[in-house]
Amino acid sequence: MPKTAGMEGRVASARRTSVPRVAWLIGPALVAGVAYLDPGNVASNMTAGARFGYLLVWVVVLGNVMAWLIQYLSAKLGIVTGQSLPEALGRRIRNPWGRRAYWLQAELVAMATDIAEVIGGAVALNLLFGLPLVLGGVITGVVSLGLLILQSRHGARTFEVVVIGLIAIIAIGFTFGVFVAPPDGAAVLGGLVPRFEGSGSVLLAASILGATIMPHAIYAHSALARDRFPAPADVMGAEQTTDAALALARGIPTARLLRATRWDVSIAMIIAGTVNLCILLLAAANLAGVRGTDSLEGAYAALSAGIGPVVATLFAVGLLASGLASTSVGAYAGAEIMRGLLHVRVPLLARRLVTLIPALILLGIGVDPTVALVLSQVVLSFGIPFALIPLVALTARGDVLGPFRNRWGTTAAGVAASVFLIALNGVLLWLVISGT
């Protein structure tokens, strides 16, 4: 009894004196949110606006709403259990071959992410400085490795500060043009009505959702939250945790961490959603019907000719910052996937080289960068259910999250999002196979 009283007293003291302000707790969602601002998003949203105008505005908005719920659940899993999603699944998938199969699909998704991000950085360097695409890809990979080394040597907070700085550059680069050449307000409202126009719009809708709700962001956010708010080993291994135990472990009550996380995710998703919507609106208002604007290079040229070189240059700078920041987060997620599922640690340099090779091959053989970006996002869309379904299932279980498990409404929303995404992917597959 005295021990319990002492624990409660220390928790109360932590609440009064040691709990940092909410602002200090914000950061992991912003880093994970970089995944929602990667070059794949740029290509998908730019292509959607150029080809279909305001038709798919509703997809961007819906994707962002679903992303809020998904990223919050991911962070909650990491905070409450002290485990990332790959770690939690690695403990529960008993069959070694089943665990390897799950790792393989997750790894392919991470590689598809890396392809999009490296290609985006290479295209940006080509637009800004005229560098060959392969050289630009190498530079993007090297800089991202430097950011990962920064994270491993100086901790999560330093990494967050650098990435948030890149987010600011991304936001300015991609939203400036909308203020210079604003979209039609009535048309934007019309784009909020859900509808499609042919298989091409379905393909782009799946691409937008794959770029918005990214599987590797789900894996990464749980790990980022775990690393930012670590608990001692005896707490981290527990299947069921209590607010008091975790408060003592971290000096911060778990309920307060979760409240701060909701703010963190909200800020990150507002930024990501606004930027993605601005990219689509910029293309819809200024590039619709203009030939060649369904590629990043064509869009850059059209923006320069139609709105001015300042807007075009800021667009390219935003694309570069997007590639550099997002490829670092993608590599972090890939390393966590391997460690959590296979219990294998691979040196950063070796992993960076392996994941860089596919992107460099695609650039070297002359595959159209924008096509590669859009298709990579479709691959990501098919990887979403494998991350989302286990996430919703685990966070709904009392033996995993204890008193912090999902309420029934949260679980219902997660199930609805999963069903919608899986159904959209099924329609897309049918359209591709039938050649419609």
Asked whether the predicted pLDDT for residue 18 surpasses 60, the reply is no
pLDDT-based confidence at residue 90 (cuts at 50, 70, 90): very high
Domain, as residue range, for 331: 2-434
Q: How many domains does the chain have?
A: 1
Tens digit of pLDDT for each residue in 174-193? 899 999 889 999 999 999 99
Residues 6+ apart with CB under 8 A from 234: none
Tens digit of pLDDT for each residue in 226-247? 888 776 544 444 444 454 455 5
Tens digit of pLDDT for each residue in 111-147? 887 887 888 899 999 999 999 999 999 998 888 888 7
Q: What is the mean pLDDT of the chain?
A: 82
Q: How much helix, strand and coil, in percent to the nearest 5, is found in the chain?
A: 85, 0, 15
Tens digit of pLDDT for each residue in 322-345? 888 888 788 788 888 989 998 887
Q: Which of 75, 32, 18, 422 is nearest to 247 (CA)?
A: 18
- The CATH number linked to 33 is 1.20.1740.10
Asked whether the predicted pLDDT for residue 401 surpasses 50, the reply is yes
Strands (E), 181-290: none
Asked whether the predicted pLDDT for residue 152 surpasses 90, the reply is no
- Judge contact between 40 and 373, C-beta under 8 A: yes
pTM: 0.84
**Position with higher pLDDT, 216 vs 159:** 216
Tens digit of pLDDT for each residue in 362-399? 888 888 887 777 677 677 777 888 999 999 999 999 99
* Whole-angstrom distance, CA of residue 417 vs CA of residue 411: 10
Q: Which pLDDT score, from 0 to 100, does residue 2 have?
A: 46
